[in-house]
Amino acid sequence: MRHGAVDVYYPPSGGARAALVLATEPTFATVVDERVAWLAHVAAYEPGSFFRRELPATRAVLEGVQDLGLLIVDGYVDLDPAGRPGLGARLHDETGIPVIGVAKTAFRSATHAVAVRRGVATRPLYVTAAGLGLEQAAALVAAMGGPHRLPDALRRVDRLSRGGDQPTAERLAAGGRIRRSV
């Protein structure tokens, strides 16, 4: 069973670049694969409907990935205590895979999110989840690899999505790949 962390970046020139890092354990102590997918065209940003923009790029980078037992997304799973679905909830509904949302900033209506402080950081991360308990999800984020506020796997997937780095040659040789779709 593998576990993935995914992020999507929207360059000013248009399109989207999605990245995925995979590990064999949910703390992501060792990343075993990295993938990137490029979409030339994405939906325009709509307040309250971010998932319409983010899901196609996320689907593209997840294409062909087998035995996924957990996904971590940058953002919220649900947007309020009543369960108004965010990106993570829609991804969970679509895939059936447990999803943990890790947000760097507080969302006004997400009063149910669990604040997780890592390392010596004073600012928390905000954790939400679907398909597993919220406390379990928060404990998992607290235990993820890396000494910083943001776990190493999330820092890596952010860097890959922004195009500041390519998947490493060693990981590509181990079966990683770069997918491009239009």
Q: Which residues contact 170 (CB under 8 A, 6 or more apart)?
A: none
Residue entry with tokens 């040789």: 173
* Token output for 163: 């195009």
The SS3 of residue 169 is helix
pLDDT tens-place string over residues 31-86: 999 999 999 988 777 766 677 778 999 999 999 999 999 999 999 999 889 888 98
pLDDT tens-place string over residues 134-147: 999 999 999 999 99
Pick left, alpha or beta for residue 179 (phi over 0 → left; psi -120 to 50 → alpha; otherwise beta): beta
Say whether pLDDT at 20 is over 80. yes
Q: What percent of the chain has pLDDT over 90?
A: 70
Distances (CA, A) of 92 to 11, 124, 130: 26, 24, 7
Say whether pLDDT at 181 is over 80. no
Q: Name the pLDDT band for 28 (thresholds 50, 70, 90).
A: very high
- How many angstroms separate the CA atoms of 31 and 76, rounded? 23
Q: Which of 15-19, 82-86, 107-111 has the highest mean pLDDT?
A: 15-19
Q: 118-124 long-range contacts, Cβ below 8 Å, gap at least 24? A: 118/142, 118/144, 118/146, 118/148, 118/149, 118/150, 118/151, 119/146, 119/147, 119/148, 119/149, 121/148, 121/149, 123/149
Per-domain boundaries in the chain: 2-181
- How many angstroms separate the CA atoms of 147 and 150, rounded? 8
* Token output for 58: 């996320």
Say whether pLDDT at 111 is over 50. yes
Distances (CA, A) of 12 to 15, 22, 35, 88: 8, 27, 22, 24
| Domain covering 2-181 in this structure, CATH number | 3.30.2170.10
DSSP state of 41: -
Given this model, what pLDDT does residue 109 score?
86
